[in-house]
Amino acid sequence: MKLTTRGRHAVTALLEIARYGGQIPISLASISERQNLSLSYLEVLFSQLRSGHLVKSHRGPGGGYVLVHTPNTTTIAQIVAVVDKPKRSTSHHLILDDDHCFDHFLETYLWDELSEKMYEYLEQISLSDLLHKKQLVEKVQKRAAYVTSPIGRVMNMVA
């Protein structure tokens, strides 16, 4: 598995849909505006996400994209795998007849193992998990901003 900008953008875009429960159609134009991504770029991404059965589209006024599965069951690994098609390594079939070839084999083996571990990790994280962490971070940031504000400092002194 290779984590690219395309994969990160796909996760972020689906997180926008998950914010609304995944069942309210969200237009690509609104995602484009909020994420500062080109509409044509999102169209390509969502074409892949639709082909990968992660989103479906609703046409017409008020249309947009919804999640096929719930945010709880849509994993980050699924999203990344759909938009960042893994390239199959063929170097495992090399004849190891010299040190250079062996070094290449070890290097490829290392990256394949790392990719596998990354996939296993991302398989355990759902859109819902990310959404809840984002909400928690926002609460903490709001609390920190309140505590350091003049009103927050006064309230802390009173309490």
Q: Residue 30: which pLDDT band, with cuts at 50, 70 and 90? A: very high
pLDDT per residue over 33-70, tens digit each?
999 999 999 999 999 999 999 999 999 888 899 999 99
φ and ψ at residue 73, rounded to 5 degrees: -105, -5
**What would the 3-class secondary structure string for 14-45 be?**
HHHHHCCCCCCCECHHHHHHHHCCCHHHHHHH
pLDDT at 49: 97
Other CB atoms within a 10 A radius of the CB of residue 3 amount to 15
How many CA atoms within 13 Å lie on the side-chain side of 77? 13
State the chain's mean pLDDT as an integer.
Answer: 81
Q: Which two tokens stand for residue 80?
A: 């990344």
Residue 16 has pLDDT above 60, yes or no: yes
Three-state secondary-structure class, residue 58: strand
Task: Give, for 124, the enclosing helix (H) or strand (E).
Answer: none
**CA–CA separation, 96 and 109 (whole Å):** 13
The one-letter amino acid at 151: I
Between 146 and 25, name the one with better pLDDT.
25
Domain ranges of the chain: 5-86, 88-125
Task: Give, for 66, the enclosing helix (H) or strand (E).
Answer: strand 64-67
> How is domain 5-86 classified at the CATH fold level?
Arc Repressor Mutant, subunit A (1.10.10)
Q: Please report where in the chains the tokens 């990310």 appear, as a residue.
A: 130
The strand pairing partners of 70, in sequence order, are: none
pLDDT per residue over 77-110, tens digit each?
999 999 987 655 444 444 555 556 666 776 777 7
